[in-house]
Amino acid sequence: MKSKIILLLLSTSVYADGPWESSPYNWENNSLNWDNSSLNWDNNSLNWDNNPNNWDSNRIIRNTDGDATGYAVPKTGGGVNYYDLKGDRKGYSYE
């Protein structure tokens, strides 16, 4: 009995959806950029503006039960960085 081996080669290409401004390869969006770092006081979880106990803050992200799940910090030049309550950057958006 003869066996046949079939190789299937898939071609993939990597490209960024959307404009350069929203690309993770853009330095403005890179997590190593100081403006996006949680070590930057504006983005730090210890900053009162990012504290879930600050009911006057418009940065706090809450679930449907009203529990804080993270916070959003506006980026200079447009966009928003999203952090969890520990201060870990979870994502961004470009506006």
pLDDT tens profile 4-27: 444 433 333 334 446 887 788 889
* Per-residue model confidence as pLDDT tens digits over 81-90: 999 999 999 9
Q: Is the dihedral of CA 55, 42, 46, 31 positive or negative?
A: positive
Q: Give the chain's mean pLDDT.
A: 83
Confidence (pLDDT) at 18: 64
pLDDT(50) > 50: yes
Domain boundaries, the chain: 40-93
- How deeply is 84 buried, as exposed, middle or buried, from its count of CB atoms within 10 A (0-12, 13-18, 19+)? middle
Q: What predicted TM-score, i.e. pTM, was given to this entire model?
A: 0.75
